[in-house]
């Protein structure tokens, strides 16, 4: 990216409704598929590939030139190499390899392309450097191996000269597939769990931002599969991350438990006593994750990556010039079209989103509440506040008849103090000049007020985007005491990134704010350049936070909220030389099991939307700080803590 003098672009930030300070250059056409290349099907990982008989899985995989359409019928079709079983249509991701432990696999790899390739991931018993299969152009290889360990794995291929799947860009980006080893005696054809492979078609350029399509199982929102579940179902999902970046995965409306997790060379079971409730987990590069959960409330919900750029315009090919398209006879997902996606006030989510519809059980009855406590929350904008004179987005409480003014805007928004079991009505007034929506992150509430514009709700009762000058009443009853964020859920990179976030504290009674401290780490402006990560961070709305005061020997509760739009934040409590110890007590608003409530070093990495609560007892008077920074080496903000000596009791000296 060419150098641009900072003073030359600062003035651009305030008036523009865009996700970066400097307007991006024009996009250019994408690589077209080879002539007569078959269009790859997207693989939902429901049917294992090959033939399993008498303890032997026989599977053949062909590498072929293919056309790939990761989005809708009118969106670009691009060139890839893909995997196919002989005589069948190529698939993205590649065919599912699934069999019980102890199975012998006889695999034939046939390269029908002009590119030499390297494959890995099949022989998990070998070291990573030894688990490679070299495949010359138009060559074949046969590999036999035994499945020795239960778990969730992946296989992948790269162009010769590249070392790992992280090196892939666009042509070889979809040479991968899921690889599941079940317990002995299991019939893979009867499996009820779902498997989701995350992959990315990625094209870099030397003089402009990259082009990207991030997908679950080969298709991106809103053109991917919509899952239908029944209230009270037991749901089990597996995730495999074969993109070259981590993903904080968030489930709206419910908690899940992580039952297994791992990396490229295997996974391990999580002990039941350590399977805490959570609604957010960061899936590392090459990582695998097994989760289990129960949908307890009917309606529409979403599961998505909580990096704003991974569900926004940075990861869609939509709008590329000179688009090459194809029509497919059977294309049920592209025909669904999510209402409102291209309408005024649209919710332009793309990429890593899964839509869920939970049907009510026969015994379900919606609760009726007459009396609710009302909180008036106003969404505002104020120019020339953030770094580079950028516009701040945020909230203010309305306490009288007069609407708050722009000068009343707070970053972060005011802490919303709620009581467990007390019905509340949060009346959100949009005093901005653009649409918005507000999500009450992590709260187990009804679908309609959950806050995803044009999607939350059920049937014809769908949450609309809040238009300029309009209001929306979010009515719910918080069922659990804990710490939660609230934030915009429309144009997230700009609105959350510019301060439209805050904390919710749900308690059973009055909160002693002298010993109960909320620390919110978030963003302070949009990126300078198109598709660059935001470089700005704030703690409690400031680059230099106001000190927190503690007293030696007092038990303090630290409520950490990580709500940067697009970055993982690291938190660490320390003095000048030593990291302190604290005791974790809650994550994502839910109490941790006793097995995890043990003193530990006071440091934690948290993805956008995660919360974590800790108990801390200072032992000595002096100065400490909660350091917050964008990982791994980004901007650092310090939250000072001053520990005072305890005053002597009585009148003695």
pLDDT digits (tens, 9 = 90+) for 106-127: 999 999 999 999 999 999 888 8
Q: Average of pLDDT values for 235-258?
A: 97
Report the range out of 4-18, 311-325, 335-349 with the highest average pLDDT. 311-325
Which residues make beta-bridge pairs with 626?
A: 573, 639
Domains by residue range for the chain, with CATH: 41-189 (2.60.40.420), 211-323+344-359 (2.60.40.420), 373-644 (2.60.40.420)
Q: With beta carbons less than 8 A apart as the criterion, state whether 78 and 124 touch.
A: no
Q: β-strand 247-251 against 280-283: which pairing, if any?
A: antiparallel
Can you list the alpha helix ranges (DSSP code H) found in 372-529? 492-495
Give all strands of the β-sheet with 424-430 in edge-to-edge order.
Answer: 390-397, 373-386, 424-430, 471-476
Report the SS3 class of residue 226. Answer: strand
- CA separation for the pair 499, 565 (Å, rounded): 9
**pLDDT surpasses 90 at 545:** no
**pLDDT surpasses 80 at 627:** yes
pTM of the model: 0.93
Q: Given the structure tokens 């722009």, which residue do they identify?
A: 406
Q: What is the pLDDT of residue 208?
A: 87
Q: H or E element: which one contains 6?
A: helix 6-9
Count the residues in the chain. 653
pLDDT digits (tens, 9 = 90+) for 69-85: 999 999 999 999 999 99
pLDDT digits (tens, 9 = 90+) for 592-601: 999 999 999 9
**pLDDT surpasses 50 at 643:** yes
Closest by Cα among 56, 116, 64, 113 to 86 = 64
CA 68 to chain centre: 24
Over the chain, what is the mean pLDDT? 91
pLDDT digits (tens, 9 = 90+) for 184-231: 999 998 999 999 999 999 999 998 889 999 999 999 999 999 999 999
Closest by Cα among 298, 443, 462, 436 to 365 = 298
What end-to-end distance do the CA atoms of the chain give, in Å?
66
Q: What is the pLDDT of residue 347?
A: 58
Percent of the chain's residues with pLDDT above 70 = 93
Q: What is the pLDDT of residue 23?
A: 81
Q: Average of pLDDT values for 1-8?
A: 32
- For residue 42, what are the CA distances in angstroms to 6, 48, 217, 243, 410? 44, 14, 6, 17, 45
Percent of the chain's residues with pLDDT above 90 = 82
Q: What is the pLDDT of residue 10?
A: 36
Report the SS3 class of residue 478. Answer: coil
pLDDT band at 328 (very low <50, low <70, confident <90, very high): low
- CA separation for the pair 572, 579 (Å, rounded): 7
pLDDT band at 16 (very low <50, low <70, confident <90, very high): very low
Q: H or E element: which one contains 476?
A: strand 471-476
Report the SS3 class of residue 633. Answer: coil
Residue, of 643 and 387, whose pLDDT is higher: 643
Q: What is the pLDDT of residue 12?
A: 39
**pLDDT surpasses 60 at 333:** no
Q: Average of pLDDT values for 534-563?
A: 94
pLDDT digits (tens, 9 = 90+) for 460-482: 999 999 999 999 999 999 999 99
Judged on CB neighbours under 10 Å (0-12, 13-18, 19+), 108 is middle
**pLDDT surpasses 70 at 91:** yes
pLDDT digits (tens, 9 = 90+) for 125-150: 888 889 999 999 999 999 999 999 99
Q: What is the pLDDT of residue 337?
A: 47
Q: What is the pLDDT of residue 634?
A: 79
pLDDT band at 6 (very low <50, low <70, confident <90, very high): very low
- Cα torsion through 631, 610, 357, 349, rounded to 10: -40
């Amino acid at each position: 990216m060419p150098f641009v003098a900072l003073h030359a672009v600062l003035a651009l930030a305030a008036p523009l409704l865009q996700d970066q300070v400097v307007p991006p250059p024009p996009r250019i056409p994408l690589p077209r598929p080879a002539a007569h290349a078959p269009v790859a099907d997207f693989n939902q990982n429901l049917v294992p590939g090959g033939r399993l008989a008498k303890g032997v899985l026989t599977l053949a995989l062909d590498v072929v030139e293919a056309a790939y359409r990761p989005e809708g019928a009118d969106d670009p079709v691009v060139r890839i190499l893909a995997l196919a079983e002989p005589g069948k249509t190529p698939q993205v991701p590649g065919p599912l390899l699934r069999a019980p432990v102890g199975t012998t696999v006889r695999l034939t790899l046939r390269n029908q392309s002009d590119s030499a390739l390297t494959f890995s991931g099949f022989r998990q018993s070998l070291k990573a450097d030894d688990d490679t299969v070299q495949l010359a152009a138009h060559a074949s290889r046969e590999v036999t191996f035994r499945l020795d360990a239960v778990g969730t794995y992946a296989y992948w291929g790269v162009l010769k000269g590249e070392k790992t799947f992280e090196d892939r860009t666009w042509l070889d980006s979809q040479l991968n597939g899921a690889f599941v080893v079940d317990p002995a005696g299991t019939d893979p054809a009867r499996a009820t769990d779902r498997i989701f492979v995350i992959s990315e078609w990625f094209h870099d350029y030397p003089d402009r931002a990259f082009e990207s399509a991030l997908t679950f199982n080969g298709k991106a929102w809103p053109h991917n599969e919509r899952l239908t579940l029944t209230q009270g179902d037991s749901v089990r999902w597996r995730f495999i991350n074969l993109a070259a970046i981590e993903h904080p995965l968030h489930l709206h409306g419910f908690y899940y438990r992580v039952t297994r997790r791992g990396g490229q060379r295997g996974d391990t079971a999580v002990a039941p006593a350590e399977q805490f409730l959570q609604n957010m987990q960061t899936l590392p590069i090459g990582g695998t994750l097994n989760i289990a959960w129960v949908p307890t409330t009917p309606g529409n919900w979403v599961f998505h990556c909580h990096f704003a750029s991974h569900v926004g315009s940075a990861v869609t090919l939509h709008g590329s010039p000179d688009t090459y398209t194809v029509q497919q006879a059977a294309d049920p997902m592209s025909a669904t079209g999510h209402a409102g996606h291209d309408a005024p006030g649209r919710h332009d989510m793309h990429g890593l989103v899964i839509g869920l519809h939970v049907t009510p059980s026969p015994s379900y009855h919606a609760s009726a509440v007459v009396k609710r406590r009302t909180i008036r929350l106003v969404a505002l904008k104020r120019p020339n506040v953030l770094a580079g004179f950028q516009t701040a987005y945020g909230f203010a409480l309305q306490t009288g008849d007069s609407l708050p003014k722009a000068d009343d805007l707070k970053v972060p928004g005011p802490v919303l103090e709620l009581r467990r079991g007390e019905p509340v009505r949060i009346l959100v007034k949009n005093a901005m000049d653009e649409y918005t929506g507000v999500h009450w992150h992590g709260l187990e509430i009804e679908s309609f007020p959950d806050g995803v514009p044009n999607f939350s709700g059920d049937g014809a009762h769908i949450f609309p985007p809040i238009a300029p000058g309009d209001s929306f009443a979010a009515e719910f009853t918080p069922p659990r005491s804990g710490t939660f964020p609230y934030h915009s859920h429309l144009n997230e990179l700009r609105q959350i990134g510019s301060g439209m976030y805050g904390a919710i504290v749900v308690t059973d009674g009055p909160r002693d704010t002298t010993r109960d401290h909320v620390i919110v780490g978030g963003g302070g402006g949009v990126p300078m350049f198109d598709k660059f990560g935001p470089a700005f961070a704030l703690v409690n709305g400031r680059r230099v936070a106001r000190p927190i005061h503690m007293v030696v020997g007092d038990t303090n509760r630290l409520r950490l909220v990580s709500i940067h739009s697009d970055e993982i934040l690291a938190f660490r409590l320390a003095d000048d030389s030593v990291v302190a110890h604290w005791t974790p007590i809650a994550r994502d608003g839910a109490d941790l099991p006793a097995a995890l409530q043990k003193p530990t070093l006071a440091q934690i990495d948290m993805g956008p939307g995660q919360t974590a609560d800790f108990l801390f007892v200072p032992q000595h008077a002096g100065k400490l700080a909660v350091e917050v920074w964008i990982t791994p080496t980004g901007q650092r903000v310090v939250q000072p803590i001053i520990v005072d000596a305890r005053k002597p009791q009585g009148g003695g000296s």
